[in-house]
Structure 1
């Protein structure tokens, strides 16, 4: 059943409102269905919204609007890690189980320079979904391009939470120091 297409700026405003009010990531396909356009049109809309400095992040779970209440204090840290691909899920679970959000992964590629990919996982379920998506799409982890060496931006509500997560990485042999 096809509904009426929402056009141009009105559609982008509709998408922005959906993202701002959603408690979960919204996929391009979900947004396409709700606006009666193709997923590719949504990708273009998201690009235009980002060009207007809207804080939208594409994650493996879908698009997220990243505004935070002004009273929300977030602490971030960049950590260096190394492990083979089969240990990626273990590393991510170790972090989220300590109350940390894994924001992204970064590598230094010999040709392309710094490459960063959004991860945005905060729960074991989100880690499971991320790892499953890697497997079903037969994608590679970025760290496979650098023999397992990579950086993560991690965030948490306190420095103490970050410290405990980093210590767990150290104890489990993931941390590069």
Structure 2
């Protein structure tokens, strides 16, 4: 079984169970080591699957009824951390980044920034020099899908970003 198939089966096993499934039990069912299960869980989380670790095992969060919206922003690379902190400090998550590049058209990449720690780790990767921010290809203009538990929280995030001068009105193309 290849890794992608194994991870899909792992999700199915956790979702189908009415109680948490231990890493050891998953490893036995998938015929791999527990460490492979831990690595697979990390990969699934990085791809947006909301798997929660409990002291009794793994569960998939199905109560994730979040509200989301696309926002447009512009700022310098030096202001990225402040933008991300503004989002997470007000109860939101920066799920992705989207740019509209002149030649490459729409480009989108996952961010999955849910906390200040996530934001700091993202910035460390950018500052390490191995990569540049996607928004640097469009003079700082970019879009995010942000999510939160309520529309009110999203409104607060937008208001805070507007006050800091980062928020811009949406273009029609992004809604298509």
- The TM-score range, normalised by the shorter chain, is 0.5 to 0.7
Using the alignment, how far apart are the partners of 2:7 and 2:73 within structure 1?
Answer: 40
How many residue pairs align between the two structures?
Answer: 141
* Post-superposition offset of 1:14: 5.7
Summarize deviations over 1:107-137 as a string: whole Å, max 9, x none. Answer: 0111111000100111101101111112225
Partner SS, residue 130 of structure 1: helix
Using the alignment, how far apart are the partners of 1:149 and 1:73 within structure 2?
Answer: 29
Using the alignment, how far apart are the partners of 1:161 and 1:101 within structure 2?
Answer: 11
Partner SS, residue 139 of structure 1: coil
Instruction: Choose from 75, 83, 86 the match for 1:91.
Output: 83
Q: Which runs of 5 or more structure 2 residues have no equivalent in the other structure?
A: 15-19, 22-31, 51-59, 170-176
Using the alignment, how far apart are the partners of 2:140 and 2:4 within structure 1?
Answer: 41
Instruction: Choose from 117, 125, 128 the match for 1:133.
Output: 125
Structure 1 residues 11, 165: closer, same or farther in 2, change over 3 A? closer
The aligned counterpart of 2:10 is 17
- Are 2:70 and 1:78 equivalent residues in the alignment? yes
Partner SS, residue 65 of structure 1: coil
The aligned counterpart of 2:24 is none
Summarize deviations over 1:19-66 as a string: whole Å, max 9, x none. Answer: 9689xxxxxxxx99934xxx9xx8xxx8xxxxxxxxx57xxxx45424
Q: Which runs of 5 or more structure 1 residues have no equivalent in the other structure?
A: 1-7, 23-30, 47-55
Using the alignment, how far apart are the partners of 2:157 and 2:5 within structure 1?
Answer: 38
CA RMSD of aligned residues (A): 3.3
Structure 1 residues 32, 72: closer, same or farther in 2, change over 3 A? same
The aligned counterpart of 1:111 is 103
* Post-superposition offset of 1:17: 2.3
Query: Could you state the TM-score of these two structures normalised by the residue count of structure 2?
Result: 0.68
Partner SS, residue 70 of structure 2: strand
Contact 2:48 2:112 in 1 (8 A): no
- Runs (4+) of structure 1 exceeding 3 A deviation are 9-12, 18-22, 31-35
Structure 1 residues 32, 77: closer, same or farther in 2, change over 3 A? farther
Query: Could you state the TM-score of these two structures normalised by the residue count of structure 1?
Result: 0.67
